[in-house]
Amino acid sequence: MNHESPPRAWVDVDLEAIAHNLDIARQALPDTALMPVIKAGAYGHGLEPVARRLDADGIAYFGVANAGEARRISRANLRTRPFILGPTIPDEREEIVSQGWCCTVSTLEEARHFNSLAALAGHRFTVHVAVDTGMGREGFLPAELGEAAPQLAALEHLDVEGVMSHFPAADEDVPFTQAEIGVFTDCVAQLQQHFNLRYRHIAASAGELGYEVPIANLARPGLLLYGVAPMASIYDGVLRPTLRLSSRVSLVRELPAGHGVAYGRTYMTERPTRVATIGIGYADGWSRRLSGSGARVYIRGHYCPMLGRVTMDQIMADVTDAPEVAPGDEVELIGPHIPVTEVAERAGTIVWEIFTGLGPRLPRNY
């Protein structure tokens, strides 16, 4: 016998839904190039499979977080090149230059380092100038550009292909964001005196859905691709959910009234209770902050409240009102009946963290 048991918990990914959501982004911004953001393993959906599915004409770059993710994109032999969104660490730069991955520069020091590495490598290197219009994470301050731009332009082995910034509060502070668009527009004008800027970009999903940025011609949608709109928009009902998180019931037992459930005995049964033990825990990304939050799971057509704390590999749910539930049954934790937005709200966090927290122990099925 050589039978492999099915997993206790897993993720089903709908690649067509991700492609559909990218089309929605394209329709929303008809004259704008797109950089699908697939950092953090495509927000838990799986880096290579998502990249392969989206690797089509009309995509400018794949947005990744670091050199390790860029390397995985390179090795997948795709036509689209990776773009490293955050600042680069000095000892990553040699690989970045030799591979010709695109990235940003925030200081003259970084730019000079890239310039000398490109000189050594014997080819030119393409960068985007980052400007900090409010995020405080990377980029030249707008006031520094006047002095920095001519010095950047003097670096012989660098090609400045674009300018980028990032909204810190597109979904929380509309007046700030509108003012920020003006600042960004001025920065672009200033840089355009020195460079032919093929790409000008500032918006992620929220910025894309909520604002007009006439100077921009590239957008970086992330969350939106994975079916969630961070801002109310006309595209709300049109995005398709992309992922389903499932587990299975391992055991069903009857506990008497007054019995504790899980660590700390924070939950005590109030009546004789049928309790299902389910094979998923915080090690899989089912956050421990869901403990006592009113989180629920969906089994055989019933919503079943989760009981007590989330443990590393298991959770318990009340199946008293779902008498047919039995060991082996599938359990929906995120899916058509339990949207990821509900899970994030109960966990007191954002959808991004729920997606990217889905652990490596969960097999991904496509």
Q: Would you tell me which residues interact with ligand PLP (CB under 6 A)?
A: 37, 39, 63, 85, 166, 204-206, 220-224, 230
Closer Cβ to ligand PLP, 63 or 210, answer by number: 63
Closer Cβ to ligand PLP, 85 or 129, answer by number: 85
CB of 253 to ligand PLP, least distance (A): 42
In the complex, which residue's CB is closest to ligand PLP? 222
The catalytically annotated residue of 235, 263, 267, 282 is 263
Instruction: Identify whether the C-beta of residue 340 lies closer than 8 Å to the C-beta of residue 228.
Output: yes
CB of 288 to ligand PLP, least distance (A): 24
Closer Cβ to ligand PLP, 220 or 248, answer by number: 220
Closer Cβ to ligand PLP, 171 or 332, answer by number: 171
CB of 166 to ligand PLP, least distance (A): 4
Token pair listed for 18:
């991700």
With CA atoms as reference, report the closest residue to 90 among 64, 113, 119.
113
With CA atoms as reference, report the closest residue to 111 among 65, 154, 47, 169.
154
Would residue 39 show up in a list of annotated catalytic residues for this protein?
yes
Closer Cβ to ligand PLP, 83 or 286, answer by number: 83
CB of 205 to ligand PLP, least distance (A): 3
Long-range contacts of 140-149 (CB under 8 A, 24+ apart): 140/106, 140/107, 142/183, 142/186, 142/187, 145/187, 145/190, 145/191, 146/190, 148/108, 149/190, 149/191, 149/193, 149/194, 149/195
Determine what percent of the chain falls in helix, strand and coil, rounding each to the nearest 5. Answer: 35, 25, 45
Instruction: Identify whether the C-beta of residue 351 lies closer than 8 Å to the C-beta of residue 253.
Output: no
Instruction: Identify whether the C-beta of residue 185 lies closer than 8 Å to the C-beta of residue 215.
Output: yes
CB of 78 to ligand PLP, least distance (A): 19
Instruction: Identify whether the C-beta of residue 153 lies closer than 8 Å to the C-beta of residue 190.
Output: no
Between the alpha carbon of residue 210 and those of residues 128, 168, 174, 236, 279, the distances in Å are 24, 13, 9, 12, 40
**How far is the C-alpha of 198 from the C-alpha of 162, rounded, in Å?**
6
**How far is the C-alpha of 317 from the C-alpha of 142, rounded, in Å?**
54
Closer Cβ to ligand PLP, 114 or 355, answer by number: 355
Burial class (CB in 10 A: 0-12, 13-18, 19+), 31: exposed
Longest Cα–Cα distance of the chain, Å, equals 78
The catalytically annotated residue of 39, 61, 199, 282 is 39
CB of 221 to ligand PLP, least distance (A): 5
Give the residue numbers marked as catalytic.
Answer: 39, 263
